[in-house]
């Protein structure tokens, strides 16, 4: 059993000590990759406006993954009813009337950038990075591998198509070299986004026919990161232009807990055996 680690079956992990140090060193590895292209770092809120995700057709494509922050409708009567009638049933709290839900907990780190640069006309490519706590409701959970609440570092490029494609190809090579340097065995595999009812979603078919996502696969099939070519989808949705046309974009994404799992699975549970990731 890992020291300073606690797992909650609803898909959340807490850790400290050497595990937290591993988490921080891994993230700094990816930050150094971002610094290689002089990416500007941002910090974003935990929520995204629902209207932002509606622009991406997110609620149609991924309703099974959504987690929403819920608050009570703020009338005195409703709050008193909650205070007087609240109860737990199998760990679930009974709610009275809820306020309108206008936000969604962040499902992917890079979405914040497109909202931030909404309406921008770019004079040159943007290279950006952020780390975010992301939330995706899943059918099942496994410690450090599949979590409701997890952390993602992304490096993003927004600009002309050729610039974005070069950025993604370069970073695929850099990630492969990084993994090899530290002894983490990964392979690259074409993949699709986790659409709801994929067989009925034309976007899934389009991604099958013309792959735009490649995952870093560790072990028996765990994706610990990915490179993603968005074409001009976000540029059109958020009116971001480059050279007078809808901007293209792409991102390199790292699941920090999944990289931790890969390190522990490869080198064991003793911190003295882990790479230093300097």
- pTM as predicted: 0.93
Is residue 196 scored above 60 in pLDDT? no
Are 129 and 31 within 8 A, CB to CB? yes
Classify 173 as helix, strand or coil: helix
Q: Is the pLDDT of residue 239 over 60?
A: yes
- Pairing of the two strands 12-15 and 186-191: unpaired
As a whole number of angstroms, the distance between CA 179 and CA 170 comes to 14
Residue 210 is predicted with a pLDDT of: 47
What sign has the CA pseudo-torsion 119, 125, 131, 136? Answer: positive
The CATH architecture one would assign to domain 5-67+107-273 is: 2-Layer Sandwich (3.30)
Q: How confident is the model at residue 89 (pLDDT cuts 50, 70, 90)?
A: confident
- For residue 85, what pLDDT band results from cuts at 50, 70 and 90? confident
Token output for 32: 């150094």
**pLDDT value for 67:** 97
For range 73-100, the mean pLDDT:
90
Q: What distance in Å separates the CA atoms of residue 115 and residue 264, rounded to the nearest whole number?
A: 36
pLDDT at site 91 = 81
Give the model's pLDDT for residue 205. 47
pLDDT digits (tens, 9 = 90+) for 142-191: 999 999 999 999 999 999 999 999 999 999 999 999 999 999 999 999 98
What number is the average pLDDT over the span 105-118? 97
- Strand-pair partners of 127: 157
Structure tokens at 264: 């522990």
- Asked if pLDDT for residue 227 goes beyond 70, the answer is yes
Would you say residue 244 has pLDDT above 70?
yes
Cα 188 to Cα 251: distance, rounded to the nearest angstrom: 15
CA dihedral 22, 24, 30, 32 (to 10 degrees): -120
The pLDDT score that the predictor gives to residue 198 is 64
9 CB neighbour count, 10 Å cutoff: 8
Phi, psi of 21 (to 5 degrees): -60, -40
> What is the average pLDDT across 223-227?
97
Domain residue ranges of the chain, discontinuous segments joined by +: 5-67+107-273
Residue 211 has pLDDT above 60, yes or no: no
Tell me what percent of the residues of the chain surpass a pLDDT of 70. 93
Structure-token pair, residue 58: 């997110």
Q: What is the per-residue pLDDT for 278?
A: 81
Q: What is the mean pLDDT of the chain?
A: 93
Higher pLDDT, 64 or 195: 64
Greater confidence (83 vs 170) lies with 170
pLDDT band at 90 (very low <50, low <70, confident <90, very high): confident
**Confidence check: pLDDT of 207 > 90:** no
The H-assigned helical ranges of 37-98 are: 50-55, 58-61, 76-85
Between residues 200 and 225, the one the model is more confident about: 225
């Amino acid at each position: 059993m890992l020291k300073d680690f606690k797992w909650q079956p609803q898909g959340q992990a807490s850790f400290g000590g050497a595990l937290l140090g591993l988490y921080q060193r891994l993230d700094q590895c990816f930050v150094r990759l971002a610094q290689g292209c002089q990416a500007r770092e941002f910090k974003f809120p935990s929520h995204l406006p629902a209207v932002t995700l509606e622009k991406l057709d997110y609620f149609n494509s991924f309703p099974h993954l959504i987690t929403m922050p819920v608050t009570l409708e703020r009338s005195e009567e409703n709050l008193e009813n909650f205070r007087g009638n609240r109860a737990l049933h199998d760990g679930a709290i009974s709610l009275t009337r809820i306020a309108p839900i206008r936000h969604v907990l962040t499902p992917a780190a890079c979405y914040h950038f497109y909202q931030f640069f909404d309406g921008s006309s770019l004079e040159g490519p943007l290279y950006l990075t952020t780390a975010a706590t992301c939330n995706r409701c899943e059918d099942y959970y496994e410690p450090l591998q599949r979590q409701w609440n997890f952390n993602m570092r992304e490096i993003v490029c927004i600009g002309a198509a050729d610039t974005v494609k070069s950025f993604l190809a370069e970073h695929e090579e850099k990630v492969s070299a990084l993994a090899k340097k530290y002894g983490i065995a990964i392979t690259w595999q074409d993949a699709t986004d986790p659409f709801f009812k994929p067989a009925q979603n034309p976007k899934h078919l389009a991604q099958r026919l013309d792959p735009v996502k490649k995952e870093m696969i560790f072990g028996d099939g765990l994706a610990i990161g990915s490179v993603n070519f968005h074409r001009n989808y976000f540029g059109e949705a958020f009116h971001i232009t480059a050279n007078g046309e809808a901007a293209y974009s792409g991102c390199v994404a790292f699941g920090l807990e999944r990289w931790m799992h890969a390190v522990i699975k490869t080198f064991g549970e003793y911190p003295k055996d882990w790479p230093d990731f300097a």
